[in-house]
Chains A and B, each alone.
Chain A
Amino acid sequence: MRSADRERVRVEVVHRVVDGYVRQARDASDGFLQRLVNDTLYQERRRLDQANPRSKRTKAELALYQDVQRRLHSAAETTVRALLEQLATRFVDEVIGNFDDRVYRLSTTLIPPGLSLLVNAMSPRRLLDLRRINRGLVDQLKVQGEVEQVRRLAQHGTVVVVPTHSSNLDSIVLGYAGYRIGLPPLLYGAGINLFSNPMISFFMHNLGAYKVDRKKTAKLYRAVLKEYTTCALELGYHQLFFPGGTRSRSGAIEQQLKKGLLGTVIRAYTNNLIAGREPARIYLAPCTISYKLVLEAEALIRSHLQETGKASYIVEDDEFSHPRRVLNFLFNLTSLDDEIAVTWSAPLDVFGNRVDADGNSLDPRGRVVDPRSYVTRDGVPYLDEQRDVEYTNELAEAVCGAYLRDNVVMSTHVVARAVFALLRRRNPTHDLYRLLQTGGDAPSFAMAEVHSEVERLLGELGREDVPRPRLSPLLLAGDVQEIVADALRHFAIYHTRPAAERRGDRLFHEHRNLLCYYGNRLEGYGLAAE
């Protein structure tokens, strides 16, 4: 964010958040603001209990909160408001961080060399191999779909890129894919743990990242974050949201999105209309990133299985925190083909309508419709929270639909799914966890069995009556033997243990968690349960 805007946004965010709460307080029972401040302090202290007590930041934060707590005691209402402002300011300062304008400008032209910097930061000695990695990424990254339209819309209005999320590499891959199609730089909320990772912090700043601390659970913090993205959108900053919130733990395509962040596009659009800022166009560009192998697959599926249902679980120690694993992964990329597909879906307006080449919203039958009409009455725009919650739900549905259509299924997904289906069929009485742990009765399957199961799956994925994913070129070619061989080659090169391995004419399921993870990529297509 440009520094002139930064100061403006900083003031505006605090003002809007605090004003919003003061308005709410008028309709609420006495002591509403006081409770809000108290709640913030409580949530923050709980968080700090888990933090490193010796870190300078923890100490500073604790001191601040103690001070606020002391002043809150028997404070007059104006003082409470001031304390709220102080806390909100502290949060917004952390979110915005201290970007350097010059670095930001530089970075917009430096994304691919940035990748080299990333690798450089990790291991200066391997500098010589940089050319190989860069070339690798160029070769391995397939950018496809509605590229031209997304690029055009970025000139007509503000674009919010909303990709699927399976890896911390996503933002880098996307930064690069965006650069390759000529997209302007994107503002992006990166997890604060990425900033504490020294090798990546510099790089994140350069991408135009702001900080998001998912451990901060206070309502006030969430409100500040939402208002920050809203303000940035109103000012026309193109953004990158991962609407699923975190990386997909199970490996499945996101079908549940975080509505809070997604909803900011509708709020920003309406705010701009009300303020008379024209043209107030904001577009969503759903985008599906498909990897044949996922860097953090093992840690993600582990946490999914451990914490099924608990979205609050945050993976900190994963493959991404180990430079050697990242390098290993990146280098392996270069040895195989067709590894990462970035597919741009047809862009949407903020209500989930498709848009044409000029950015006009289209109704379901392709007629041009004025998007302003969704938030106006007799032509006058107005805010209505309940209405916007529903619009956000409908937008989320449209985005998830795009994910399912533009997900690129690769050999690893189909083969993992096939082997897992065989496992399930062989052991009908085992529940999932027991099956994962023990592997059931048979440690291996005949290759012929695997081939025919893959064939069956490909047939199902080709059905007309259900949503269909895209298939990678190898899958489209349809040579089952080659598909299985390709998947096994991949399983062998990167993970600590291969997901499955061929010995003679039998296939051994070695790392069933991984089979489950990669196979989950085919959830949502109504595949018969084996």
Chain B
Amino acid sequence: MHSRETVGVVGAGSWGTTLAKIVAENGHEVVLWARRPELAAQLNAQRHNPQYLPQIALPAGVHATAEVQRVCETCRLLLVAVPSHGFRAVAREMAPFLDGEHVIVHTTKGLEEQTHKRMSEVLREETPVRKIGVLAGPNLAPELARGQPAGTLIASRFGDVFRRAQAALSTSYFRVFSGQDVIGAEIGGMFKNIVAVAAGIVDGLGLGDNTKAFLMTRGLNEMARLGVSMGANVLTFGGMAGIGDLVATCASPHSRNHQVGVRLGRGESLAEILGQTRMVAEGIRATRAVRAFAAQQRLQLPIVHALHRVLYEQTPLDEAMRELVAAQSGDEFMGLML
């Protein structure tokens, strides 16, 4: 009886715009929030997102706005797709217009830098909303925007969150799985960006598939150990939000994190690269946050450590690579066996 509801999408980057398109194609009205009023006006007038998703036409059901109050008051189901560094500020802006009826599914991949908190924790701290979920999976925006088949995970402790988000998002080509492990989905989505930067470096250095598979597999292992230490279910990392997202992000030329890694591998400096892209490479920030968290918890995460040395400690690539490879041996699943 509630299959058609007006859905809010908060954040009009490439992923937010893609989500808005999918939901609208599903027959729902969508209110899409963009921070900048110019962008909202452009979206409404030109029916596409000139900056982030230029080739894709927006369906008629998408209405852009720059008023956060409007999106919160019109919609009870909100999909939040803003970068992690702006997440708390957006949550704060929304909070006065939210109550217990609202359902928020966020798609943000990252940990808050100062606090090392997950985005669902930030939502709990800033808003009255309890029905919180996370969407994570191999979901590269440009491919989905073209309607290519893909799957994703929506994890929430509340069955209602899944049912409503699924009704909004599930299409003939976009298949939605359910789970309860919010922590696992958040950690998987966040950590794969770190591995993607590292995998990009491997590609940029011109190393082969063995090396990349080695790195990705150990990356998955680090992801799982970090997640389990925070209370995640290890199985989640074998699913959409774990290996699924990892494979897509580490392989795809669409992945910003991977691209940044490739350019680093070819010898460009981080400052140069970041100076030239408008999009956010979450893996760069996540490396710093996870590194600090792991140090605090005394967790050994060699890939994070090596990447941190490259990104923030001016360590030459070959030296960091040598250290990283030397650190890898021993019981493969140490720290994960039940």
A residues near B131, Cβ cutoff 8 Å: 387
A residues near B159, Cβ cutoff 8 Å: 384, 386-387
Q: A363-B95, A377-B2, A387-B160 are in contact. Are A369 and B125 (CB under 8 A)?
A: no
Cα distance A420–B125 when bound, in Å? Answer: 38
B101 touches A376 (CB 8 A): yes
Q: A377-B101, A386-B159, A387-B158 are in contact. Are A369 and B130 (CB under 8 A)?
A: no
Cα distance A394–B131 when bound, in Å? Answer: 11
A residues near B125, Cβ cutoff 8 Å: 364-365
Closest to B95 in A: A365
Cα distance A387–B95 when bound, in Å? Answer: 22
Q: A386-B159, A387-B158, A387-B160 are in contact. Are A364 and B100 (CB under 8 A)?
A: no
A364 touches B158 (CB 8 A): no
Closest to A389 in B: B157
Q: Mark A393-419, 1 if CB is under 8 A from B, else 0.
A: 110000000000000000000000000
B residues near A376, Cβ cutoff 8 Å: 100-101
B157 touches A364 (CB 8 A): no
Give the shortest distance, in Å, between B76 (CB) and chain A (any CB): 8
CB < 8 Å neighbour of B101 from A373, A386, A390, A391: A373
Q: A364-B124, A365-B95, A394-B130 are in contact. Are A374 and B100 (CB under 8 A)?
A: yes
Q: A377-B2, A387-B160 are in contact. Are A351 and B99 (CB under 8 A)?
A: no
For window 356-375 of A, CB contacts with B under 8 Å fall at 363-365, 367, 369-375
Cα distance A387–B164 when bound, in Å? Answer: 14
Q: Mark B111-140, 1 if CB is under 8 A from A, else 0.
A: 000000000000011111011000000000
Max chain B CB contacts within 10 Å: which of A363, A391, A394?
Answer: A363
Closest to B92 in A: A365
Q: Quick check: is B316 within 8 A (CB to CB) of the other chain?
A: no
CB < 8 Å neighbour of A373 from B95, B100, B127, B158: B100
CB < 8 Å neighbour of B158 from A353, A370, A390: A390
Interface size on B, residues (CB 8 A): 18
Closest to B128 in A: A363
B residues near A365, Cβ cutoff 8 Å: 95, 125-126
A residues near B147, Cβ cutoff 8 Å: none
B residues near A393, Cβ cutoff 8 Å: 157
Q: Quick check: is B96 within 8 A (CB to CB) of the other chain?
A: yes
Q: A386-B158, A387-B158 are in contact. Are A351 and B2 (CB under 8 A)?
A: no
Closest to A368 in B: B128
Give the shortest distance, in Å, between A371 (CB) and chain B (any CB): 7
B residues near A378, Cβ cutoff 8 Å: 76, 101
A363 touches B127 (CB 8 A): yes
CB < 8 Å neighbour of A367 from B76, B128, B157, B160: B128
B130 touches A364 (CB 8 A): no
Max chain B CB contacts within 10 Å: which of A351, A375, A378, A390?
Answer: A390
Closest to B125 in A: A364
Cα distance A370–B158 when bound, in Å? Answer: 20
Give the shortest distance, in Å, between A205 (CB) and chain B (any CB): 40
Closest to B164 in A: A377
B101 touches A367 (CB 8 A): no
Give the shortest distance, in Å, between B124 (CB) and chain A (any CB): 7
B126 touches A367 (CB 8 A): no
Max chain A CB contacts within 10 Å: which of B96, B100, B125, B160?
Answer: B100
A residues near B99, Cβ cutoff 8 Å: 369-370, 373
Cα distance A367–B96 when bound, in Å? Answer: 8
Cα distance A387–B163 when bound, in Å? Answer: 12
For window 214-239 of A, CB contacts with B under 8 Å fall at none
B residues near A373, Cβ cutoff 8 Å: 99-101, 128
Cα distance A390–B76 when bound, in Å? Answer: 19
Cα distance A417–B128 when bound, in Å? Answer: 39
Closest to B160 in A: A387
Closest to B96 in A: A367
Cα distance A376–B2 when bound, in Å? Answer: 13
Cα distance A369–B101 when bound, in Å? Answer: 11
Closest to A393 in B: B157
Cα distance A372–B131 when bound, in Å? Answer: 14
B2 touches A369 (CB 8 A): no
B126 touches A390 (CB 8 A): no
Q: Mark B142-170, 1 if CB is under 8 A from A, else 0.
A: 00000000000000011110000000000
Give the shortest distance, in Å, between B1 (CB) and chain A (any CB): 10
A353 touches B157 (CB 8 A): no
A residues near B157, Cβ cutoff 8 Å: 390, 393
When A and B form their complex, which 9 residue pairs have the shortest distance between CB atoms, in order from nearest? Answer: A374-B100, A363-B128, A373-B100, A373-B99, A369-B128, A373-B101, A386-B159, A390-B157, A364-B125
Q: Could you pull out 13 A-B pairs where Cβ atoms are within 8 angstroms?
A: A351-B100, A351-B130, A363-B128, A364-B127, A371-B100, A374-B101, A378-B101, A386-B159, A386-B160, A387-B131, A390-B130, A390-B157, A394-B130
Interface residues of A (CB under 8 A from B): 351, 353, 363-365, 367, 369-378, 384, 386-387, 390-391, 393-394
Q: A364-B128, A369-B128 are in contact. List 11 more A-B contacts (CB 8 A).
A: A351-B100, A351-B130, A353-B128, A364-B125, A367-B128, A370-B100, A372-B100, A374-B100, A386-B160, A387-B160, A394-B130
